[in-house]
Amino acid sequence: MTARLQSRAGRYTPWRERPDLCDEAERRFGLSGAVYRRFQEGEFVAGDRNGRHLLYCARTWTLIEPSPEPIGERAEQGRLL
């Protein structure tokens, strides 16, 4: 990371790699403490609103919700997504 990528507090952290997307998510959805994460499956922004943790796709701003039923490897392990 470079010094150009900084949080509002003036410190850059790995979780604010894309402060522009974090700030956009905070404005759009009223999130606090928004963080950006990139995975093989895509790019995501997560944050809290009224004590509820929410996850959004950083490209389409679609809310990502947990599966009601365990699927795939998680079902075999007995854990929910």
| Separation between Cα atoms, residue 28 and residue 30, nearest integer Å | 6
Question: What was the pLDDT predicted at 78?
Answer: 58
Which amino acid belongs to residue 81? L
This prediction's pTM: 0.65
Question: What was the pLDDT predicted at 47?
Answer: 92
SS3 label, residue 20: helix
- Please state the separation of Cα 50 from the chain's center in Å: 16
Domain ranges of the chain: 1-65
Question: What was the pLDDT predicted at 16?
Answer: 60
Over residues 5-13, the mean pLDDT reads 47
pLDDT digits (tens, 9 = 90+) for 16-65: 678 899 999 999 999 998 988 888 888 999 999 999 999 999 999 999 99
Question: What was the pLDDT predicted at 2?
Answer: 42
